[in-house]
Structure formats: structure tokens, C-alpha cells
Structure 1
Amino acid sequence: MSTRDRDAAAYRPRAGEPVLDSRTGRTGIYMDTIGGEHYLRPAGGGREWTARPGQLAPAPIPIPAPEAAEAAGTADTTDAPVPDPAAPDPATPDPAATNRARLAARLAARNQDSRLNESQVA
């Protein structure tokens, strides 16, 4: 190691800044430094990885934001919501609502019948 390398200021990225991990060749977003290791994650989200301070450099090309990737149609679809199999199908009527409707119709018919009977008695 030359004196110039040893005396050079260490590169310190800011949170959210795109950086290049020279060990793996991957470009990621800098998250934090804990215990002397930098934590990075892929730009579109995913599993974090660690890098040592001497292995980071500014990203040579800008990483597209996830919103730009979605607009271009290249977004990662693994985060798409998965339908809940236990959730009721919206096309299938709710049985409880159907039973309530039947009961209301029966009560309305019974009330109509009772009004007729009262008018006949009076």
C-alpha cells in the first residue's frame, strides 16, 4: 500500500446513495454502517449484503428509481400482492347477507299479512 492510498480520505457514502461494491461488482443502495461494515441492498429491493469500507466506490452509472422501472415496465414483480386464499370471492354472495335478506322479506310479508288481518277485524 502506498502512502497516497493510506493517507487518502475513505469514501463515506450517504444513506440512500448508489454505490459500487468492488468485491462483488454489484451496485446497490447504501443503507448504514454497523460494526465497521457497510450494509447495501439492491435498488429494486431485496436481500441486503455487507461490504468493507475499502470496497465501496460511487456508482459509475445512476441506478433507476423503482418508480422509473415501473413506468418502463421493467419492475420486479415479486413484490406483487398475493391473493389470500381464505378471503371470500367478491363474485360469490355473502351467505349471511343472503339469509338476512330472506328473513327481512319474510318479516315484511308477515307484517303485511298482519295488517290485513287487523283491518278485517276492525
Structure 2
Amino acid sequence: MFPLSLPYIRGGKLPYWLLFISIVSIFNSFQSYQKDLSLTKRVYNSKPQEVTNLSARTFGTWTLITSIVRLYGAYNITSPQVYQLTQFTFIIAAFHFLSEWLIFGTTKLGKGLAGPLIVSSLSLGWMWYYKDFYVF
């Protein structure tokens, strides 16, 4: 389905970042289906009692869907539609984690929240800044 190497896009590194984030997210998604919820509870550390097997699997499914979109974004970085969909995955992720922190209080700023916030904001900024470089 996907070639072994990403298309060479004028020396850009963004497709490789998206591929890396996709692979990491796929593994994170699979861990959400395990009975051990300790990793998911690290993210939602203010109210870990609210993390259930059902919520973890739902989160894992959502993560898997975004991983697939980001994987397509890595391989189709010059497509405006795929580029925008990939950007939206980071917007939605940032919204989710920020709202869980600032509105719902299920997480607090720390190791569990820092990773998703850094990845979503870095990726979104990178994609916004370099859009004209990739999309033509």
C-alpha cells in the first residue's frame, strides 16, 4: 500500500516527522486496548479514576484514526486536501488535551500532558509555516 520510502520533497523533513508521529501513535493506540490502563492514566492524571477500559479503547480508536490520516499526510504531503486533514488532526488533538486540562480538569500539566501538547503544537506550527513549501 505504501512504498518503503517517502517521496523526496525538496529536502523537507515534515513528511518524516509525520511518519514518525504516525508510527508512535499506532503503538500508543494498541496499548490503549490492553487491560493495563497505567499509561492512559498518566495522561489523565488529575482524575485517573475516570479512565475506564471503554474510555481507553475509545481513545485508542480515535488515536488510530488520526494515525492513519497522518500517515497519508506523510505520503501525500503535496495534496492540499490531505494536508488540511492532517492539520485538523493536530487541531483536534490540541483542543482535546487543552480542554481536558483547562475545562474538565482530568489532567494537569506534567509528563503525561506535555508530550501530546508539544507534538500537536509543534506539528501544527510546522505545518502552518511550511504549507506553501509542500502544497502546490
TM (norm. structure 2) is: 0.19
Larger relative contact order, structure 1 or 2 (CA cutoff 8 Å, min sep 6): 2
Query: Which is richer in helix?
Result: 2
Query: Which is richer in strand?
Result: 1
